[in-house]
Structure 1
Amino acid sequence: MSLEVEKPPETTKQLKRQDSLYGDAEKVSGFKHHGSEGGWPRLLQLAFQSIGIIYGDVGTSPLYAISSTFPDGIKDQDDLLGVLSLILYTLILIPMVKYVFIVLYADDNGDGGTFALYSLISRHSKVRLIPNQQAEDAMVSNYGIEAPSPELRVAQWLKQKLESSKAAKISLFIITILGTSMVMGDGTLTPSISVLSAVSGIREKVPSLTETQVVWISVPILFALFSVQRYGTDKVGYSFAPIITLWFFLIAGIGMYNLIVHEIGVLRAFNPMYIVDYFRRNGKDGWVSLGGVILCVTEGMYADLSHFNIKAIQISFSTVLLPSVALCYIGQTAYLRKFPESVADTFFRSIPELMFWPTFIIAILSAIIASQAMLSGAFAILSKALSLGCFPSVQVIHTSKSYEGQVYIPEVNFLMGLASIIVTITFRTTTEIGNAYGICVVTVFSITTHLTTIVMLLVWRKNFIIVLLFYVVFSSIELVYLSSILTKFIQGGYLPFCFSLVLMALMITWHYVHVMKYWYELDHVVPANEVTTLLEKHEVRRIPGVGLLYSDLVQGITPVFPRLVQRIPSVHAVFLFMSIKHLPIPHVAPVERFLFRQVGPREHRMFRCVARYGYCDKLEESGLFKGFLMESLKTFIQDEAAFKTNSTAGDTKELTDPKVSGHDLARWVEKEKQMIDKEMERGVVYLMGEANVIAGPESSAAKKIVVDYVYAFLRKNLTEGEKVLSIPKDQLLKVGITYEI
């Protein structure tokens, strides 16, 4: 069936393009994230599911929080009321007020976490270190964010400062990857402290078990936990939402029982004056004890926002988590007022006799589920780091067909599992692990506060006084907690810093060389208008099939191409210069995936193509990708023909031959589409530049170490570019080239 392209009347408005790289952004009206529709039944269902995914680590914190706050025992009965008051107001202020009712609204089209905040800032000011921004990016349907009541003067001032200061750009990048490193540390420590705390409860019934034996019981559980990560949150976490829900009702019931049986008067702790009295009575010791108090909270709910929505999290937190956990802590305090000597094993000793074994079993299951969800969140955050070029291209496996944010990274899972088991065997008790865990949590809290403050000024454009109040209140609280937990640096607190420094060094190294490599290619780019000359110079012949030459560049032609035609003077009948580009948004709708440009004369059938993905999008398998790509290319050719015919109404210069009629052009379009199908049948060949990056001869010794040794080691041992792109090995051709940066 032929395409009919009719010439419009003279009065028709001419089509205009913002740039020669023309896409289909106008074809999509919007993009809905997970959980955005369905009414109250769907909302309540998501709220129920969120209990099993988000709150596991907060819900299991009663296993160890109070015992970590009083490692040397209880000196004064009223100290219990002071600590309970601290726990209650910490739960109210940080997870509820800050996260649930403020920070969750800083979602990135339904996605949360440190990188979501960074991507929001990136879209409103040019702070990314790689200069690959294009005008068409802003046309993607979920790229823009509606900003409430603008305070333009402050927003424009901040935007100008961020864009003009290289130090500001680097600082934003550093604190973002620091947050990522700390979340990875959290994902390593959460399984250790949760599982070890739950398993240690068995000593209440089998007191002959030694501490060492408890550790060796915990190790196989941890091994099993990391082994099932390949099945993902979708199959593990969602299935066990009923168990976590049962856990919450169970700890709430136990708390209510202890409150009624032992001392209902502990409800006085809702009076914040008990906090003042606690610090007045204990001084420095009270300040140091905050390192244990902070273990009652976590930052996981924001990172897991992409699996649910804001209202679902608000409902589940307010109606299930907060009441249940608060009652549990209140009950433990009531029990300790009567039995202060039991502070080391408060949770299990406060359980009624008949409920011990059911609670013990559910505690272990809850610890496993909580750890699994935290690990899934850590993988998701690291996959976003990959999209920014901050980590070697390791294989990312999507574990859910329904929820794209759920991923599994085999190499990282192995290393985190090994680290978690080593930490459990080495530290043996929850006290020192808790010190390390606390530093991870508070650091991420602080980073989130700083990035959210920038979002409030730059994106939301809130009143400066409101923003200042938010920043002062929460940064002050977090600074007090951080200063407290840092006093325990030697007692395990050094662990996340060591872990984070190593991970940050690797990420900074990779990103630094990645940026330098991009700039090198940009400086040695081949202008599109010189491709014809290059082909004629080397007498390049056209061979059957479709060729895809991959590079990071979105501007011009990669310097790998001249290298290719020098060594093998042949180019496929249909040839595309491909770039995979990750936009600072979670998702790009499939219809907006590709941007095309004609390179050289039409008869060359050479095109520039940028395939755009969000940082949560999964790259299609090879067969799906090339089929989708070729269909989009045919659509582009058809759209170009329509554009040229339409433009002829006012300017015949748009046509190569002004005498060509609309019907002739339609026949040409149909012939081109048939030709693409024919070449597709002959085969697709993927070409990639195998760039050997080395430091220049005049580089410093530090640069040579970073580029020639550290980067080379990572590239050799971790990079799997063709696997990430799902390129079949029998269709891959690599072109060797050396970049001297």
Structure 2
Amino acid sequence: MSSKHNERASAAGLLVALGIIFGDIGTSPLYAMQAIIGKERIALDVVYGSVSCIFWTLTLQTTIKYVILILRADNNGEGGILALYALVRKNAKWLTIPAIIGASTLLADGIITPPISVSSAIEGLHILYPGIQTIPIVIAILTLLFVIQIFGTTIVGRAFGPVMLIWFLMLLVLGLSQVIYHPEIFKAFNPNYAYQLLANHPGGFWLLGSVFLCTTGAEALYSDLGHCGRGNIRISWIYVKTCLVINYFGQGAWLAMHVGETLNGRKPFYEIMPDWWLLPGICIATMATIIASQALISGSFTLISEAIRLNLWPKVRLVYPSNQKGQLYVPSVNWLLWAGCVGIVLYFKESSHMEAAYGLAITLTMIMTTLLFSYYLFVHKINKLWVASFIVIYLAIEGSFLAANLLKFPHGGWVSLLLAIIIADLMAMWLRANIIKLRLTEFVDLGKHIGSLKELSNDISIPKYATHLIFMSNAADDNEIESKILYSIFQKRPKRADIYWFVHVETTDEPYTLDYHVNVRAEDDVIKINFMLGFRVEQRINMFLRNVVQDMVKNNEVDITSRYESLNRQNITGDFRFVVLERYLSVENDLPWHEEFIMKFYFAIKSITNSESQWFGLDNSSVKVEKVPLVIKTNSQIRMRRVYM
């Protein structure tokens, strides 16, 4: 499945990768070392051990797992946990479970990323202005960030790369400015220091929860694969990792020179800055955190759009602010994220409190990615020993991080897990409701009814409903159609038309497929069209169908001229009218309680989201929406008795 064109790198692509991909992982130095040291006195073995842990975490987790291995599992150039799920879902149904858990935890823990990043940067102002209130500033920045989403990020995006280039250069210079005073810190490259901290230092193992903060953005490297390409990500990571490692070593050098002290609210990141650079440094840090937040928001929009087309999320409104690939705005998700971020800021107040909660849910995302990727390797006939080694090594590493992060549960980690559970429940119930609905939709043989459709089309005693009547259908088979559609045509109110069109839309596992298949069941009378659209393609059926009809006219496959004599003589095209059947839960049901709850929940959410006609991008002026009951199980045991008075 790996795409060779993804291997190419370019100067522009490298700059874009810096701006889009590395915001989250690139701003971790703002808070990671502070979280590790906490309120304890600075100890040399903790400093060396934690710096060693960070280096080897970035090496094993980010470099080897994500940059070298998982980036290979691209879905026609696209990445992310749902793109990976789309690659393997046909092989085993149980893979839906890790996909839902991974996607929900990624969204939930991501709500903490903008607040912790922006707060960490803005709190540097305490050094210059000790009494300043940072919460209003953080909320104002986050609000502005979410407001501008509606305009798209094309213009802002052009500035992301250069800003992040400066940011990483600043990390490198600041790190070097400290290691020259304490070059012994480079001993921390030896993994023995990490081992000694975890195995022998009292409570050392539990520091992994804070060490994990250095790699929380690794999942973004994979999620944003489609924006930048594998080659650009891999090459730019060399520069990014070098700058990050040197900065962490620089912070370690500063800490090593202050052994025995406590941080007492000080941030090692800002302590290694010269006083004259503090204000510019805070400004650059704030811009970097805004970019990190933007990457997360864009990633959430992409994740939701994929989830919708994989039947894991309600069909909410999607907006495409520009024609640029990847530009997407989801209003409902945007404001839910904003509310979540503001709530996090008001609840935790300081970034040091957010650190105590951050990372727990994202660990679960990484474990789920490991499971899905392992199955991907298995399906692609990779040596079973290699697959087993990958599973054992990374489940051990990520299991250790998860165990250490569980300490965060009472300190706020429960917030992200609660959000993840709510999101996962919504995804699971939505998927289950779609399965129930599809299972209980009755399909009939279209071929048996073609004669009746032709007869109705020629019956001039019935007023003509439309020249071209188009029904949206759930039937993927060319030979099938829903019984409810036939009921609508023949019985609800006879709908006479010159040509009956039945249109089915199938979502493919590839991201940008745009194919269609035409089956003319009866020339100039009955036509079935199947659209095969990728899970990242906007469903503009009105426009797509117009193009299909134009091609068919060119190929003399159909005559769309009006059949009215006066209009036909003037060669005027006949009218097109869509009919969309919207189902509702019938009162004539006898459901198991759990299925009844799922279906009621499904229809309640559906009532406040996009209608079927809006979702398919149909022109409202030519659409007829008909409500049809979804009868799941009728009670056939009723016996009535007639009485005579």
For the criterion TM > 0.5, the same-fold answer is: yes
Measured after TM superposition, the shift of residue 608 of structure 1 is: 0.8
Aligned partners of 1:321 and 1:737: how far apart in 2? 56
Superposed counterparts of 1:550-629, under 5 Å: 550-555=472-477, 556-565=480-489, 566-588=491-513, 590=514, 593-599=515-521, 601-604=522-525, 606-620=526-540, 622=542, 624-629=543-548
Residues 35 and 308 of structure 1 are in contact (CA less than 8 Å); yes or no, is this contact kept in structure 2? Answer: no
Residue from 682, 696, 699 that aligns with 2:591:
699
Superposed counterparts of 1:28-177, under 5 Å: 36=6, 43-122=10-89, 126-127=90-91, 162=92, 169=93, 171-177=94-100
Measured after TM superposition, the shift of residue 263 of structure 1 is: 1.1
SS at match of 1:341: coil
- Tell me the residue number matched to 1:391: 313
- Cα distance change, pair 291–680 in 1 and its aligned pair in 2 (3 A): farther
Q: Once the two structures are superposed, what CA deviation does each residue of 1:137-189 show, in whole Å capped at 9, x if it has no partner? A: xxxxxxxxxxxxxxxxxxxxxxxxx3xxxxxx1x3112112111112113311
Aligned partners of 2:421 and 2:269: how far apart in 1? 35
Aligned partners of 1:537 and 1:61: how far apart in 2? 68
Measured after TM superposition, the shift of residue 507 of structure 1 is: 1.6
- Match for 2:613: what amino acid? E
Measured after TM superposition, the shift of residue 343 of structure 1 is: 6.9
Residue from 171, 181, 184 that aligns with 1:265:
184
- Cα distance change, pair 440–34 in 1 and its aligned pair in 2 (3 A): farther
SS at match of 1:395: coil
Measured after TM superposition, the shift of residue 280 of structure 1 is: 3.6
Measured after TM superposition, the shift of residue 50 of structure 1 is: 0.4
Measured after TM superposition, the shift of residue 235 of structure 1 is: 3.1
- Tell me the residue number matched to 2:627: 736
Aligned partners of 1:470 and 1:74: how far apart in 2? 38
1:439 matches 2:360: yes
Q: Once the two structures are superposed, what CA deviation does each residue of 1:187-230 show, in whole Å capped at 9, x if it has no partner? A: 31111111111111100111122xxx211221111101111122
Aligned partners of 2:437 and 2:294: how far apart in 1? 37
1:189 matches 2:108: no
Q: Once the two structures are superposed, what CA deviation does each residue of 1:297-342 show, in whole Å capped at 9, x if it has no partner? A: 1210100000111111100001x21001111111111111123433
SS at match of 2:533: strand
Measured after TM superposition, the shift of residue 513 of structure 1 is: 1.4
Measured after TM superposition, the shift of residue 360 of structure 1 is: 0.4
1:314 matches 2:234: yes
- Cα distance change, pair 343–573 in 1 and its aligned pair in 2 (3 A): farther
Residue from 549, 572, 575 that aligns with 1:630:
549
- Match for 1:625: what amino acid? F
Measured after TM superposition, the shift of residue 575 of structure 1 is: 2.2
- Tell me the residue number matched to 1:684: 576
Aligned partners of 1:428 and 1:671: how far apart in 2? 66
- Tell me the residue number matched to 2:342: 421
Aligned partners of 2:262 and 2:25: how far apart in 1? 25
Aligned partners of 2:35 and 2:524: how far apart in 1? 73
- Tell me the residue number matched to 1:10: none
Residues 233 and 376 of structure 1 are in contact (CA less than 8 Å); yes or no, is this contact kept in structure 2? Answer: no
Residues 278 and 286 of structure 1 are in contact (CA less than 8 Å); yes or no, is this contact kept in structure 2? Answer: yes
Residues 498 and 524 of structure 2 are in contact (CA less than 8 Å); yes or no, is this contact kept in structure 1? Answer: no
Residue from 98, 102, 111 that aligns with 1:179:
102
- Cα distance change, pair 489–694 in 1 and its aligned pair in 2 (3 A): farther
- Match for 1:558: what amino acid? E
Alignment size in residue pairs = 616
Residue from 137, 146, 149 that aligns with 1:229:
149
Aligned partners of 2:49 and 2:437: how far apart in 1? 56
- Tell me the residue number matched to 2:640: none
Residues 251 and 325 of structure 1 are in contact (CA less than 8 Å); yes or no, is this contact kept in structure 2? Answer: yes
Residue from 378, 381, 392 that aligns with 1:457:
378
Q: Once the two structures are superposed, what CA deviation does each residue of 1:100-137 show, in whole Å capped at 9, x if it has no partner? A: 11000001110001111111113xxx35xxxxxxxxxx
Q: Once the two structures are superposed, what CA deviation does each residue of 1:611-636 show, in whole Å capped at 9, x if it has no partner? A: 111111223373x334212124346x
Aligned partners of 1:174 and 1:360: how far apart in 2? 42
Residue from 278, 285, 292 that aligns with 2:210:
292
- Match for 2:295: what amino acid? A
- Tell me the residue number matched to 1:547: 469
Q: Once the two structures are superposed, what CA deviation does each residue of 1:584-635 show, in whole Å capped at 9, x if it has no partner? A: 11111x4xx2111123x3242x11111111111223373x334212124346
1:353 matches 2:275: yes
SS at match of 2:502: strand
- Tell me the residue number matched to 1:328: 247
- Match for 1:530: what amino acid? H
- Tell me the residue number matched to 1:207: 130
Aligned partners of 1:739 and 1:670: how far apart in 2? 36
Superposed counterparts of 1:464-483, under 5 Å: 464-483=384-403
Measured after TM superposition, the shift of residue 292 of structure 1 is: 0.7
- Tell me the residue number matched to 1:277: 196
TM-score scaled by structure 2?
0.90
Aligned partners of 2:339 and 2:390: how far apart in 1? 39
- Tell me the residue number matched to 1:430: 351
Residue from 590, 595, 603 that aligns with 1:712:
603
Measured after TM superposition, the shift of residue 545 of structure 1 is: 2.8
- Cα distance change, pair 578–617 in 1 and its aligned pair in 2 (3 A): same
- Cα distance change, pair 58–609 in 1 and its aligned pair in 2 (3 A): same
- Tell me the residue number matched to 1:514: 434
Between the two proteins, what is the percent identity of the paired residues? 26
1:250 matches 2:154: no
Measured after TM superposition, the shift of residue 549 of structure 1 is: 0.8
- Tell me the residue number matched to 1:410: 331
Measured after TM superposition, the shift of residue 397 of structure 1 is: 1.5
- Cα distance change, pair 419–256 in 1 and its aligned pair in 2 (3 A): same
Aligned partners of 2:398 and 2:492: how far apart in 1? 60
Residues 35 and 46 of structure 1 are in contact (CA less than 8 Å); yes or no, is this contact kept in structure 2? Answer: no
- Tell me the residue number matched to 2:291: 369
Residues 561 and 572 of structure 2 are in contact (CA less than 8 Å); yes or no, is this contact kept in structure 1? Answer: no
Aligned partners of 1:670 and 1:481: how far apart in 2? 62
SS at match of 1:672: coil
Aligned partners of 1:579 and 1:680: how far apart in 2? 27
Residues 213 and 359 of structure 2 are in contact (CA less than 8 Å); yes or no, is this contact kept in structure 1? Answer: yes
Aligned partners of 1:603 and 1:354: how far apart in 2? 79
- Tell me the residue number matched to 1:644: none
- Tell me the residue number matched to 2:637: none
Residues 20 and 295 of structure 2 are in contact (CA less than 8 Å); yes or no, is this contact kept in structure 1? Answer: yes
TM-score scaled by structure 1?
0.79
Residues 197 and 205 of structure 2 are in contact (CA less than 8 Å); yes or no, is this contact kept in structure 1? Answer: no
Q: Once the two structures are superposed, what CA deviation does each residue of 1:379-436 show, in whole Å capped at 9, x if it has no partner? A: 1011001101121111112244231x33110011111111110111111122342343
Q: Once the two structures are superposed, what CA deviation does each residue of 1:514-542 show, in whole Å capped at 9, x if it has no partner? A: 11111222x34343332323664896665
SS at match of 1:736: strand
